[in-house]
Structure formats: C-alpha cells, structure tokens
A and B are shown apart, each in its own frame.
Chain A
Amino acid sequence: DTEVTQTPKHLVMGMTNKKSLKCEQHMGHRAMYWYKQKAKKPPELMFVYSYEKLSINESVPSRFSPECPNSSLLNLHLHALQPEDSALYLCASSQDRAGSNQPQHFGDGTRLSIL
C-alpha cells in the first residue's frame, strides 16, 4: 500500500478541457514533487514544492499549473493539453528538501490520455 495517494487513477480529456490531478500524503513530509513518465522511460521531474512554496520548475509549459494548498496536498491543474502530454503523472514526497539524501516516496500515478 502506498502512503502517497493520487486521484484519479485514469483520466481521459480533450485538448480544450480543464482538469486537475490530486495528490495527498499524511506522512508529515514537507517536500512534494510532480513527475511525468512516458512509456518505457524514467520519470522526469516537473515541479518541486518545499514547505508549500514552489522551489523548482523544470521549464514546464504553462498549460501545467501546480498548486500546493497545504503541506499534505498537491494539485496539478491541466488546461489545453497536447496529445504528447499523454503519460503517467507521478506524485512523490520526501521529508524535506534540505539535501538530496531524502528518499522520495511515490504514489501510483494518474494515467492521462489526451484525445
């Protein structure tokens, strides 16, 4: 059982739709991450939040908009996505971002398909 919960598990949307992905953790972690993973590839970092503040944006297109309402929740708002955005979106959390020695705990992801 994963301690990082992502909803929904699957999402199909058109290119003009607006939708949101949700991630929740109750481990008291203060760093949260969004990754994108294409088939047969490793995860690619998109965003890092540390203490509810955006600390890293890996030059992600503005059609992806992250939000961290509190220390347990992380959202990814989607708008006007392209077919190439179809992928598995993974959320992760770690105790804090004070160094890369913090193991990241991953959710099971949201499988996103853009029509």
Chain B
Amino acid sequence: AQSVTQPDIHITVSEGASLELRCNYSYGATPYLFWYVQSPGQGLQLLLKYFSGDTLVQGIKGFEAEFKRSQSSFNLRKPSVHWSDAAEYFCAVGAGTASKLTFGTGTRLQVTL
C-alpha cells in the first residue's frame, strides 16, 4: 500500500523568503502525486500535480514541485513567500486503479512579516 510522509509538522518563514516543504512517498510503481493547500475554514485547493514527463511541475500561486524518483520525494517550493500563503499544505499520492488519495499528515506554514 502507498504512504506519504511529511516530516515537518510546522514551518515558519519570513515574508519574501524562499520555501521548501518536504514530501516523501512509498509506492512500488510511478505514483500520481499532488499538493493541496487548505486555508482555515476552507476546503482543499489543488496546487499542482505530477503524473509523468517533466519532473519539475509548475502550479498555481507561484508554486512548483520536483519529482525525484531516486529519493521518493516530491518537494514543494516557492521562491518568495507571501503572507497569504500561510495555510496547511498536504501532499497526496494516488496509485493503482482505485480512486483513493493517500494524504500526508500535513505541514502548517506560518509566515512572519
């Protein structure tokens, strides 16, 4: 069965600083990988997805993620964080023919001004 690990429960960065959120997955074949963001009191918004092809994927709101098969990682990055990026970030993996997403435990991002 697939699994996702987000090692950082809580990260604090200053506005304008760069950001990297870590995600490691476990799955035997090529997984389908997603990053979602959840602001307080809201649902999950899809930031970006990786299925195949170019290992560097661009998403919305200036985010990007890089798939590294050798490290089983799919880390999310942003070169300059804005205060509005403060939220909970979930990495998720979909695998096989089932419609199940396996979510990581999430990383809470705090942005200081």
Given contacts A41-B105, A43-B103, A100-B101, contact A90 B43 (CB under 8 A): yes
Contact residues of B between 10 and 65, Cβ < 8 Å to A: 32, 34, 36, 41-46, 49, 51
- A100 and B51 alpha carbons, distance in the complex (Å): 10
Count residues of chain A with CB under 8 A from any CB of chain B.
Answer: 31
Question: Does residue A17 face the partner (Cβ distance < 8 Å to B)?
Answer: no
- A34 and B104 alpha carbons, distance in the complex (Å): 18
- A74 and B4 alpha carbons, distance in the complex (Å): 28
Is B101 within 8 A of A101, CB to CB?
A: no
- A103 and B94 alpha carbons, distance in the complex (Å): 9
- A103 and B103 alpha carbons, distance in the complex (Å): 13
Is A100 within 8 A of B44, CB to CB?
A: no
Interface residues on B, range: 20 to 34
Question: Does residue B98 face the partner (Cβ distance < 8 Å to A)?
Answer: yes
Is B43 within 8 A of A106, CB to CB?
A: yes
- By a CB distance below 8 angstroms, the chain A residues around B90 are 42-43
When the two chains form the complex, which single residue of A42, A103, A107 contacts B43, counting CB atoms closer than 8 Å? A107
Is A31 within 8 A of B43, CB to CB?
A: no
Contact residues of A between 50 and 106, Cβ < 8 Å to B: 50, 55-56, 90, 92, 94, 97-106
Given contacts A41-B105, A42-B105, A90-B43, contact A50 B34 (CB under 8 A): no
Contact residues of A between 13 and 38, Cβ < 8 Å to B: 31, 33
Interface string of B91-113 (1 = CB under 8 A from A): 00011111111011110000000
Question: Does residue A114 face the partner (Cβ distance < 8 Å to B)?
Answer: no
Is A97 within 8 A of B105, CB to CB?
A: no
Closest to A45 in B: B100
When the two chains form the complex, which single residue of A42, A50, A101, A109 contacts B106, counting CB atoms closer than 8 Å? A42
- By a CB distance below 8 angstroms, the chain A residues around B36 are 106
Chain B interface residues toward A at CB < 8 A: 32, 34, 36, 41-46, 49, 51, 90, 94-101, 103-106
List 6 tightest A-B contacts by C-beta distance, closest first: A100-B94, A42-B103, A106-B43, A97-B99, A106-B44, A108-B43
